[in-house]
Amino acid sequence: MTLDISSAPIASDTTDHAPPTDHAPPAGLAELAGRRVRALLAHDLPASLAVFLIAVPFSLGIALATGAPLTAGLVAAAVGGLAAGLLGGTHLQVSGPSAALTVVTAGVIAQYGWQIACLVTVAAGLLQLLVGSLRVARAALAISPAVVHGLLAGVGVTVAIAQLHVILGGSPQSSALADLRSLPAELAGPHPPALAVGLLALAVLYGWPKLDRLPGPAGRFGARLARLPAALVAVAAATTLSLIAELSLARVELPLWEHHRFFAPPSPGVLADHWAALLGLVLTVAAVAGVESLLSSVAVDRMTRRTGDLDRELRAQGVSNLLSGLLGGLPVAGGAVRSTANVQAGAATRASAVLHGCWVLVAALLLTAGLRRIPLAALAALVLVVGVQMVSFAHIRRVHRHREFPVYLATVLGVVLLGVPLGVVLGGSVAVLLALYRLTRAHVEVIVEPDGSRTVRTHGPLTFMAVPGLSRAFARIPAGARVTVRHDGSFLDHAAFEALHAWRADHRATGAQVSMLTDHQAQEVLDPDGTVLVDDAPGPHRCSAWTPWVGHHCIEQNEDDPHVRLLHGVRGFQQHTAPLVRHELARLARDGQTPSQLFLTCADSRMVTSMITSSGPGDLFTVRNVGNLVPAPYEPGAADDSVAAAVQYAVEVLEVSSITICGHSGCGAMKALLDGVTEQTGPPTALARWLRNGRGSLARLRRAPAEFEGRAAVDEAEQLCITNVVQQLDQLMVNPAVERRVADGSLRLVGMYFDFAAAQAYVMDGRSGRFAPVHAEPAQESEPELAA
């Protein structure tokens, strides 16, 4: 199942930020409520209708493919929309009947009956609730993507083959192999009415989205028509054809709701006789539905550029499966097809998923007469297309590029031939064996240098399994030859270590010179101050990444030109760091920047924002100036539009969600303010004019100085540093764009201070106004609330 993330719109979050009030609500609260109502009507309502039109035929088709009562598909769709939509941790994900569990559910129904299938769904929901409560949802993402994609592809192949029988007018068999064996007979004698309806549905499903490719005015008209869901048009066209031509063929057998089969506890004897098999089925349903939901959640987060709560999402899926099983519905999972349609339809909040569940419920209660006219062949065509789409060639190319195709192929064949549980176990076993093979495989290369010396390069982990290859390589080196052994820095076990050093001792005994290095560390030559050397870095700059190089021994001491030193540092980046970050930087160059925060700090060379925030390229929109000042427009002769322009761009164009002003210890600008640089007589210098923007901080220091939580300021300069942060936050609110976003709750202002000597960051607590330390581990008591 594929997700198109290239053109998905970015939806804005509308979480509650309204402050409590004892009297009449402020005008901002009413305005915020009005904006939410307008967003609901403009975005969520149309999106919910679009998803509803896809969900109804899709839910009926999944129920048909599993052999369950068709009402079970509608129950699962309604419960998934209402329960998972209200409780889920991914804002725009839409849940419903799980396509990945079609084969499993069909097997349970065929072997044990519908009531046992409902029991399995209920138990799987309880298990998902338990796992979600343990907050280990992200561990599910550790499953090899090749296994997940292979599972979806195997299920897709199985479902497509089974539904092909329905299109031909027959009935699917109990397994994919049985379906394949009986397929020639079905092809030899198809049922013409069912085949005609099925082919029409297939033609619409594949052709409808391509109407916008028609030339000229027809293309523009086709683009408008293509906005209608292809699944709805295909089912409607096939149903219309069958009614106009009065075709005699099987149609949807939707029972009356008073005859709907709700969950009923099975007899204890059945549970006692089959408890082991049922436990395995519960684990399978919980795992497959959970992983499908979490993968869909991650994909939706990428589309919407949000960060969801996967544990909350898993708990919501557990509640949905529990309710769906009790109400006689199919297993529920977050669906890629429905979620993608929701995002592309312009949904803004989770209300679209909830409304879609309401529409499904209304249709199930009021439109049963119309649903009973739908030919089964039309629904089979819809499910067949979904099954084919689950075999993604993009996924195949990706796993092949990462050398995981054996895992993918083993999972696909295992699911098709052995079923989902054994297929996943087979694929996982191949993934483990492949990983063990790669972890124990090493390549040894002997290079003859122009001066007659030898360089032995090793790639990969050197374990006991690599010792024979090492011995053969060393045996080819003539006695007395100078040798350099270069290892790529990966794992080296005791057996390989002994083999290397025993050979080195023997070779040195012949009078030869042996050097043993890694690509990132010279093991025999370390600097006196412990700085790590990189032996193959170009020029005199031999520091590894993130090593301070000014005044350290990793710079050759005869190199005094700062420009040359910097150039060597750039060359070191090109050799060692650029290959590691090139893929991510290429993505950023292609997709553009989408930072979540504006970080305004001082130009001090010691202030490395990416280091103290553990951020990378594209995370922070950074503004640096002397003293981390935000010029206020009412300061005469001190206004500066460059900072205001950067703030406006971050707030209105980039739509950052927070702005952090970060001061630091030992700030020269604050010391200059205390020394009265702005009060000196004579024409002011450029620096003096700029520092006039800090005079408000000096006044605040005398009036209401900021304080630390749990300690006193070291001196007046440090107290001015943190007071300046508070003052600049106030001056930031003069910007109309900032004031507007803060008022509606979509922007948060944060005050921060960094103490260089202690390497300690402090964050301003919004309740107390004091600067509290940020601890490495969350404290037992409440964390400081960020200033807003």
Residues 715-741 have a mean pLDDT of: 91
Residues near 540 by Cβ (< 8 Å), separated by ≥ 6? 555, 556, 558, 559, 565, 568
What letter does residue 601 receive in the DSSP assignment?
E
Catalytic residue from among 43, 568, 664, 741: 664
| Distance, CA of 482 to CA of 781 (rounded, Å) | 63
Mean residue pLDDT across the chain = 81
Residue 546 in this model has a pLDDT that exceeds 90: no
Is the overall model pTM greater than 0.75, yes or no? no
664 is catalytic: yes
Catalytic residue from among 667, 721, 755, 765: 667
Between the CA of residue 420 and those of 137, 180, 720, what are the distances in Å?
Answer: 21, 18, 65
The percent of residues above 90 in pLDDT, for the chain, comes to: 24
- 511 backbone dihedrals φ, ψ, rounded to 5°: 95, 5
- 485 backbone dihedrals φ, ψ, rounded to 5°: -100, 120
Residue 26 in this model has a pLDDT that exceeds 70: no
Q: What is the pLDDT of residues 598-612, one digit of tens each?
A: 999 999 988 888 888
Joined together, the tokens standing for residue 527 give 């600097």
pLDDT value of position 706: 93
Residue 537 in this model has a pLDDT that exceeds 70: no
Joined together, the tokens standing for residue 738 give 């900032």
Within 305-375, residue ranges assigned H as helices are: 310-326, 336-344, 351-366, 368-371
Dihedral sign computed on CA atoms, order 502, 505, 507, 509:
negative
640 is catalytic: no
755 pLDDT band (50/70/90 cuts)? very high
13 is catalytic: no
Count CB-CB contacts under 10 A for residue 462.
25
Catalytic residue from among 118, 543, 602, 662: 602
pLDDT value of position 530: 34
Q: How many residues does the chain have?
A: 788
Q: What is the pLDDT of residues 434-482, one digit of tens each?
A: 888 877 778 888 889 888 888 888 887 888 888 888 888 888 898 888 9
Q: What is the pLDDT of residues 104-154, one digit of tens each?
A: 898 899 889 999 999 999 999 999 999 999 888 877 767 788 888 888 788
> Using CB atoms within 10 A of its CB, is residue 6 exposed (0-12), middle (13-18) or buried (19+)?
exposed
Catalytic residue from among 181, 508, 606, 775: 606
Helix (H, G, I), strand (E, B) or coil at 405: helix
Residue 185 in this model has a pLDDT that exceeds 70: yes
Catalytic residue from among 44, 604, 755, 765: 604
Q: Give the angle 356-360-362 at the CA atoms, nearest 5°.
A: 115
118 is catalytic: no
Closest by CA to 466, choosing from 491, 496, 487, 439, is 496
604 is catalytic: yes
Sheet holding 443-448: strands in order across?
Answer: 443-448, 454-459, 483-487, 514-518
Helix (H) or strand (E) holding 22: none
Closest by CA to 545, choosing from 563, 521, 564, is 521
- Which of 37-41, 128-132, 673-677 is predicted with the least confidence, judged by mean pLDDT? 37-41
